[in-house]
Amino acid sequence: MPGRPPGGAPNEPRWDDPRWRVAERATEAIRRRFPADVLAVAVHGPLAHGDDDGGGDGEVNLLVVTYRPGTGPGPATRRVDGVLVDLTVSGADDYLRQARTVTPLWPLTADRYVTTRALYDPSGWLPGLRDQHLAQLVRARPTEFSTAARRAWYRGCAAHARAGRLAQWYETDQALLMLGEARLAAATVTGLLTRTYYRDPGDAVRRTRLAGADMTEVGRVLAGQADELAARGRPVDGSVEELLDG
């Protein structure tokens, strides 16, 4: 890339960061090996935001968009020169479809559609991805978010109950893992109910003040979310007939 600065301004790439050098090398290799398949290559995650110091020990989240599904490189994760590279590969139509869908994990996935930094995008496909995602959010009905939030709530409720049982059996390590799952699920429920997305799971629990929440506090949050979901038209509890009706 011509004219690269030795160090980025805020929110600009820092080309002295080893992660950027690895990302650029990977992009060049991908384009060389799959010249007819690759539509765009970009980074997402912390590196795309350009406001973390990284220090070269962080991760490179590299996205490869292909013209057709099943072409280009395969998804992979490797450490390259001390830098962990997570390679996601998707056909363009599939990725756009994902960007237009509200799922229970939307608060944890939306950032990759909104904040990307292109390493190769001659057709300007990535800005179109962002525009389509944001347009879908404008069009989305409240029920789409509440339905996704309800599914995330069930996952959090199950993890919280499991954590409680494990704690009673003095399975402390497993209980802490399940409590972490409950915290993250509760954070995603909050994100869905408020249409807020996060950079990553750590950001989700920090911004929702659940990072240090104990079993009791997580239970209170889940109970409050159950009330909110009921107020939005459908309680989390129901009959067998309602279960079968979907």
133 pLDDT higher than 50: yes
Confidence of residue 58 (pLDDT cuts 50, 70, 90): confident
Contacts with 97 (C-beta within 8 Å, 6 or more apart), sequence order: none
Q: Exposed, middle or buried: residue 158 (CB in 10 Å: 0-12, 13-18, 19+)?
A: middle
Q: What are phi and psi of 121, to 5 degrees?
A: -160, 65
Give 104's Cβ-side CA count (13 Å radius).
12
User: Residues 30-51: what's their mean pLDDT?
Assistant: 94
- The mean of the pLDDT values for the chain is 91
pLDDT at residue 233, as a whole number = 87
Tokens of residue 112, six digits: 């990759």
Average pLDDT of span 149-177: 97
- 78 membership: H or E segment, kind and range: strand 76-80
121: left (phi over 0), alpha (psi -120 to 50) or beta: beta
pLDDT tens, position by position, 68-81: 999 999 999 999 99
Length of the chain: 246
Whose tokens are 């292109």? That residue is: 118
How much is the pLDDT for 5? 32
Examine the pLDDT at 64 and tell me if it is beyond 60: yes
pLDDT at 14: 58
| The pLDDT of residue 155 is above 50 | yes
Measured between alpha carbons, how far is 17 from 96 in angstroms, rounded to an integer?
Answer: 30
| Side chain identity, residue 81 | D
Average pLDDT over residues 44-70: 83
Interval 180-204 mean pLDDT: 97
Tokens of 76: 């992979």
